Chain A
């Protein structure tokens, strides 16, 4: 379980995260939704210790994040984070070199599924294919938790469909997934849990099937209630 506990983040005078707490469970897809602002990405960066916090703490399986945590939690940001002159193959080699949990067979499967060419240079790829390579490099690590920042933003519809398909596959099964998005549309049926972030605060944290079953509401209905008020 990823536990975010009362975290506070300020950029200058601006408070981006104000006592934010929530959890993301293993075996579930948790979606962090917010209409705007950098809060969502900041949370992910904070989990990976890529930005310091003013207060609060983050635990993964009850422990603070250290270098060893990075074998069991991977972060897939929405920008390419490989060297542009690397080919996909070189990028995979790089990952294999550093991650004990790198699973080459899985990487090869995804390469085929996404129809990517291992000799292609990362800099030469389309936005959609870049996103797929990003996803591949993250998911091929046998990690327990996966963080994805806006995996669907700014890419073509077919790439989006392919990526959504990944969520229903064995690539995700049994892992804990935390994704951020500002548009829920594509993935409403895929997610187990929603955490709504607005103005740096958590507005609501709920299980999607629960609100459908108990309140007869869609995720969008709940979002509307929160944001339109």
Chain B
């Protein structure tokens, strides 16, 4: 696991984003055990407090579950997991739309461009 952090967004939000991405890509599935806070901190080279905060937020969002004396796991709730995927896609598309709209690209042209680029890149995900 490795994240290139940027310095201007809160680190804990970047950590959450990272987990959501893993879930959306299917690398993390429901019920998977995720690293402990301490492990995560040392893997990502971040402050244990930050890891703690990211986990707390994810717990509140229902993304992960921690039962007493058990390692944290990705939630079994399929709705939440689907929600994550949709949220990410939604975010990406809305970002894309914002930027093409700002340079006045008509919808049709934008759609065509998407199609070309999508095919060019093949099905490699990442």
- A and B: bona fide binding partners: yes
Chain A positions within 8 Å of B, measured between CB atoms, are 27-29, 164-165, 167-170, 172-173, 188-192, 208-209, 212-213, 216-221
Question: A209 to B9, alpha carbons, bound, how many Å?
Answer: 8
- Interface readout for B11-23 with A: 1 if CB under 8 Å, 0 if not? 1110000000000
Smallest Cβ-Cβ distance to A215: which chain B residue: B8
Minimum CB–CB distance from B18 to chain A (whole Å) comes to 13
Task: Evaluate contact between A209 and B12: CB separation under 8 angstroms.
Answer: yes
Task: Evaluate contact between B8 and A190: CB separation under 8 angstroms.
Answer: no
B50 within 8 A of A: yes
Minimum CB–CB distance from B13 to chain A (whole Å) comes to 7
B41 within 8 A of A: yes
B49 within 8 A of A: yes
B122 within 8 A of A: no
Task: Evaluate contact between A29 and B42: CB separation under 8 angstroms.
Answer: no
B34 within 8 A of A: no
Task: Evaluate contact between B42 and A189: CB separation under 8 angstroms.
Answer: no
B53 within 8 A of A: yes
Answer whether A190 and B47 are a contact pair too, CB < 8 Å, given A169-B42, A170-B38, A209-B53.
Answer: yes
Task: Evaluate contact between A212 and B9: CB separation under 8 angstroms.
Answer: yes
- Interface readout for B21-58 with A: 1 if CB under 8 Å, 0 if not? 00000000000000000100110111111100100000
Task: Evaluate contact between A212 and B42: CB separation under 8 angstroms.
Answer: no
Smallest Cβ-Cβ distance to A184: which chain B residue: B7
Task: Evaluate contact between B45 and A168: CB separation under 8 angstroms.
Answer: yes
> Which chain A residues lie closer than 8 Å to B6 at the CB level?
218
Task: Evaluate contact between A218 and B47: CB separation under 8 angstroms.
Answer: no
Task: Evaluate contact between A219 and B46: CB separation under 8 angstroms.
Answer: no
Task: Evaluate contact between A173 and B8: CB separation under 8 angstroms.
Answer: no
Answer whether A213 and B5 are a contact pair too, CB < 8 Å, given A189-B46, A190-B45.
Answer: no
> Which chain A residues lie closer than 8 Å to B5 at the CB level?
189
Prevailing SS type, chain A contact patch: loop
A173-B41, A209-B10 are known; give 17 further A-B pairs, CB within 8 A: A27-B49, A29-B47, A168-B41, A168-B45, A168-B47, A168-B48, A169-B42, A188-B7, A189-B5, A189-B45, A190-B45, A209-B12, A209-B50, A212-B11, A216-B8, A216-B9, A221-B8
> Which chain A residues lie closer than 8 Å to B50 at the CB level?
189, 192, 209
Minimum CB–CB distance from A193 to chain B (whole Å) comes to 10
Question: A27 to B49, alpha carbons, bound, how many Å?
Answer: 8
Q: What are 21 A-B interface contacts by the 8 Å CB criterion?
A: A167-B47, A168-B42, A168-B44, A168-B46, A168-B48, A172-B48, A173-B38, A173-B48, A189-B7, A190-B45, A192-B49, A192-B50, A208-B11, A209-B10, A209-B53, A212-B7, A212-B11, A213-B13, A217-B8, A218-B6, A218-B8
> Which chain A residues lie closer than 8 Å to B46 at the CB level?
168, 189-190
> Which chain B residues lie closer than 8 Å to A170 at the CB level?
38
Smallest Cβ-Cβ distance to A164: which chain B residue: B45
Most chain A CB atoms below 10 A, which of B13, B46, B49, B53: B49
> Which chain A residues lie closer than 8 Å to B42 at the CB level?
165, 168-169
> Which chain B residues lie closer than 8 Å to A168 at the CB level?
41-42, 44-48
Task: Evaluate contact between A28 and B8: CB separation under 8 angstroms.
Answer: no
Minimum CB–CB distance from A21 to chain B (whole Å) comes to 23
Question: A191 to B41, alpha carbons, bound, how many Å?
Answer: 12
Question: A65 to B111, alpha carbons, bound, how many Å?
Answer: 69
